[in-house]
Amino acid sequence: MSLPRAASRPVATPQKGGLRAGGLRVDGVPERGKAKAMIHCFPIRIYYEDTDLAGVVYYANYLRFIERARTEWARENGVDQVRMREEEGLVLAVRRVEADYLRPARFDDLVEVRTEVETASVARLVLRQEVWRESEQLFAARVTLAAMDGVGRARRLPARLLGRQV
């Protein structure tokens, strides 16, 4: 079975109170006055190398999974990170990660990393990233990104990234 391709789409996921960030209710209907939140979805198959001796995904690998999904999210939003580094001298750097490990993923599971913009400003971008196995949430992270120049100084985020958020 091949993996589905990464894509952005509205995704309704259960949360306390029945609402998700972006105003999307669990039933997929937008909250009054808000557009549907577009969530980037990136599939990942769990391989033996991703697991520990107990047969569950090693905790640090979730950070690798969400990094891959962020790269694809940026690409889908028109941000070529190699070109941005070469032509503008900018890189997107992780400033902060808050992670919650909720349930284990296991060998051969097909999981999906869901990425959405939580907040954006000229200086930082905060993403909500979650790992799901079908309707079961396994992992949640809040990731703060900043743009940095070649010597590590903070810079303004590229306008094209702030203007096209998935």
What is the structure's pLDDT at 17? Answer: 36
What's the rounded mean pLDDT across residues 101-115?
98
What is the structure's pLDDT at 32? Answer: 40
- Asked if 14 and 136 touch (Cβ cutoff 8 Å), the reply is no
Lowest-confidence pick of 21-35, 49-63, 66-80, 90-104: 21-35
What is the structure's pLDDT at 163? Answer: 62
Q: How confident is the model at residue 8 (pLDDT cuts 50, 70, 90)?
A: low
* Cβ-proximal residues to 146 (8 Å cutoff; 6+ apart), any chain: 92, 93, 95, 123, 124, 125, 154, 157
pLDDT at 74 over 50: yes
Domains annotated for the chain, with CATH where assigned, are: 43-163 (3.10.129.10)
Quote the mean pLDDT of the chain: 82
Nearest Cα to 84, choosing from 19, 30, 33, 93?
93
- Asked if 4 and 111 touch (Cβ cutoff 8 Å), the reply is no
DSSP string, 78-97: T--HHHIIIII--EEEEEEE
- The catalytic site residues sit at 52
Q: Which residue has the higher pLDDT, 72 or 30?
A: 72
What is the structure's pLDDT at 123? Answer: 85
What six digits make up the tokens of 146?
Answer: 């900043």
* pTM for the whole structure: 0.77
d(CA 67, CA 44): 12
Percent of all residues in the chain with a pLDDT value above 90, rounded to a whole number: 58
What's the rounded mean pLDDT across residues 107-111?
97
What's the rounded mean pLDDT across residues 99-120?
97
Bridge partners (DSSP) listed for residue 102: none
Bridge partners (DSSP) listed for residue 39: 9
What six digits make up the tokens of 33?
Answer: 């006055």
3-state SS class at 131: strand
Taking only the tens place, the pLDDT of each residue in 46-69 is 999 999 999 999 999 999 999 999
